[in-house]
Amino acid sequence: DSGVTQTPKHLITATGQRVTLRCSPRSGDLSVYWYQQSLDQGLQFLIQYYNGEERAKGNILERFSAQQFPDLHSELNLSSLELGDSALYFCASSGQEDNSPLHFGNGTRLTVT
Amino acid sequence: EDQVTQSPEALRLQEGESSSLNCSYTVSGLRGLFWYRQDPGKGPEFLFTLYSAGEEKEKERLKATLTKKESFLHITAPKPEDSATYLCAVQAWGGSQGNLIFGKGTKLSVKP
């Protein structure tokens, strides 16, 4: 168990809809990362937050947004969903030291129909 | 462009049959190379971090090595419970801590 908790485990929704994925990092970790994993693309970095502030952006679509709250949990919001957004979405957290490894949750499987 | 290529895509071994997985990378400046294991329906589980050419790390039946262009994950006398997808990722200097570039993985199956 990595200590990173993601909810829900599964989400099925229709095109055009909006969903929110939730992540609680490991106790003590200030950084939260979101990744998307699809069959053809592998794991792709979306965005990083550190102690409530956006730290880095990767290949995140404008339809997607995230935030990290004062209690350090994070939410990833996906809107105007398309069939191609169907994927596994992982959250990870890390410690404060440089090169601290990322510890991943078990993901949310999103299916857009 | 920073890139990670893993080979083979899939590997089937008999229990006890040792082998190696390859991770070739192109990165502007390597800050760290990471190996993860991913079981079906689970998130990636951290195995090793390597920082410089010549470095080696070991954990049970796994040993990771690093050169300037590639990394190998050696599996000695594997057991069925070693079956998983093994992911390699690199972090470049100048990138954020979490901006890892992942390969597509090697799916390892170990038959008893």
If you average pLDDT over every residue of chain A, what do you get?
A: 94
- Computed from CA positions of residues A94, A68, A77, A60, in that sequence, does the dihedral angle turn out positive or negative? negative
Per residue in B41-59, pLDDT tens?
999 999 999 999 999 999 9
Closest residue to B43, CB basis, from A44, A99, A105: A105
Chain B residues touching residue A103 (CB < 8 angstroms): 46
Per residue in B50-85, pLDDT tens?
999 999 999 999 999 999 999 999 999 999 999 999
Per residue in A20-72, pLDDT tens?
999 999 999 999 999 999 987 889 999 999 999 999 999 899 999 999 999 99
User: Inter-chain contact A43–B102, Cβ cutoff 8 Å?
Assistant: yes
Q: Please state the separation of Cα A33 from the chain's center in Å.
A: 6
- Among B38, B31, B34, B35, smallest CA distance to B82 is for B38
If you average pLDDT over every residue of chain B, what do you get?
A: 94
Q: What is the pLDDT of residue A1?
A: 84
Per residue in B6-49, pLDDT tens?
999 999 999 999 999 999 999 888 999 999 999 999 999 999 99
Q: Is B103 on the interface with A (CB under 8 A)?
A: yes
Angle (CA) A18 A22 A23, round 5°: 150
- Three-state secondary structure along A90-109? EEEEECCCCCCCCEECCCEE
Chain A residues touching residue B51 (CB < 8 angstroms): 99
Q: What is the pLDDT of residue A39?
A: 80
Q: Please state the separation of Cα B93 from the chain's center in Å.
A: 20
Chain B residues touching residue A31 (CB < 8 angstroms): 97-98
Q: What is the pLDDT of residue A99?
A: 73
Residue with tokens 């994950």: B73
Q: Is B1 on the interface with A (CB under 8 A)?
A: no
State the nearest Cα–Cα gap between A110 and chain B, in angstroms: 13
Tokens standing for A53?
Answer: 């502030």
Q: Is A99 on the interface with B (CB under 8 A)?
A: yes
Q: What is the pLDDT of residue B97?
A: 65
Which residues make beta-bridge pairs with A67?
Answer: A75
**What ranges make up the beta strands (E) of A5-70?**
5-7, 10-13, 19-24, 31-38, 42-50, 53-57, 64-68
Q: Are A53 and A32 in contact (CB under 8 A)?
A: no
Burial class (CB in 10 A: 0-12, 13-18, 19+), B97: buried
Q: Is A53 on the interface with B (CB under 8 A)?
A: no
Angle (CA) B100 B106 B111, round 5°: 145
Q: Is A100 on the interface with B (CB under 8 A)?
A: yes
Q: Bigger pLDDT: B14 or B93?
A: B14
User: Inter-chain contact A98–B97, Cβ cutoff 8 Å?
Assistant: yes
